[in-house]
Amino acid sequence: MTGNGTGTVAAPAGVAGSPVARRTTGRTWKDPRLAVGVVIVAACALLGARLLGGADDSVAVWAVRTDLAEGAALDPGALEPQEVRFASPEAADRYLSAAGGLPDGAVLLRGLGAGELLPRAAVGTGEAAALVEVPLAVAADAVPATVGQGSVVDVWVTPDAALDRRPGAVRVLDDVVVVAAPRAGSALGPAATRQVVVGLPAEDEGELPEALSGVASGAVVIVGQG
């Protein structure tokens, strides 16, 4: 080996020089897998934020602890609060809020099973517990299959187009209890109509004439409240 005066050692003759290392210059930020990962992380963060934001939308309403029959007295010991998220304030208002107290002498106007929420329409007082029974003739396909004794329903009427040039559905009764809903029919097949008996609170009996007038003007449709 021969020095060249600069401290550099010359490579031996016949020996090839080592290849120069090169740094990879790939653009990893354009990797589609990275983009998909970023999107997934962002979506998860957004979903989590929405879930946390909606956690406070629940409302405390009363539910019954055990099975209670119609006419049973209601007191705080028979109830327990449950946090429920409703689709709208109107839906929440159908049930008795746990934030308020019970009416004096509160009784059930219909039976409820353990764990069921307590509808406002199912609560009355000892003096107002009596119901005025109203029979309705309804087309068999105008009554939900889930409606039965104890259901809370609205009664709508679609006026006869021949009697009203501007037909439109009208609600004639709301939040009424089904007292009876017998299945009509025979071995030959179901009947075209069936009777549904609803109970109107005695204190609302004054609304009955107008409601019956509405029922007589067209076809009755029963709408369950779930």
pLDDT tens track for 88-97: 888 888 898 9
81-103: average pLDDT: 87
* More confident call, 13 vs 161: 161
With residue 194 as reference, give the H or E element that holds it: strand 193-201
- 54/83 Cα distance (integer angstroms): 13
Q: 43, 49 in Cβ contact below 8 A?
A: no
Residues contacting 81, CB < 8 A, separation 6+? 60, 61, 62, 63, 98
Q: Rank 5-14, 79-88, 144-153 by mean pLDDT and report only the highest.
A: 79-88
Provide the pLDDT for residue 133.
87
pLDDT at 46 over 80: no
Provide the pLDDT for residue 60.
92
pLDDT at 82 over 80: yes
What are the pLDDT digits (tens) for 109-133?
778 888 999 988 888 776 545 678 8
Of all residues in the chain, what percent carry a pLDDT higher than 70?
Answer: 67
- 38/173 Cα distance (integer angstroms): 54
Confidence of residue 163 (pLDDT cuts 50, 70, 90): low
Provide the pLDDT for residue 217.
85
Provide the pLDDT for residue 117.
92
The whole-chain average pLDDT of the chain stands at 76
φ/ψ (deg, to 5) at 40: -65, -45
Using only C-alpha atoms, the chain has a radius of gyration, in whole angstroms, of: 36
Provide the pLDDT for residue 13.
53
Residues contacting 222, CB < 8 A, separation 6+? 136, 138, 142, 143, 144, 147, 153, 154, 155, 156, 196
Of all residues in the chain, what percent carry a pLDDT higher than 90?
Answer: 19
Closest residue by Cα to residue 100 from 85, 116, 79, 84: 79
Q: 114, 64 in Cβ contact below 8 A?
A: yes
Provide the pLDDT for residue 175.
86
Q: Is the dihedral of CA 105, 135, 93, 225 positive or negative?
A: positive
Q: Is the pTM of this model over 0.95?
A: no
- End-to-end C-alpha distance for the chain, whole angstroms: 98
Residue with tokens 């629940």: 58
pLDDT at 189 over 70: no
pLDDT at 222 over 90: yes
Provide the pLDDT for residue 180.
81
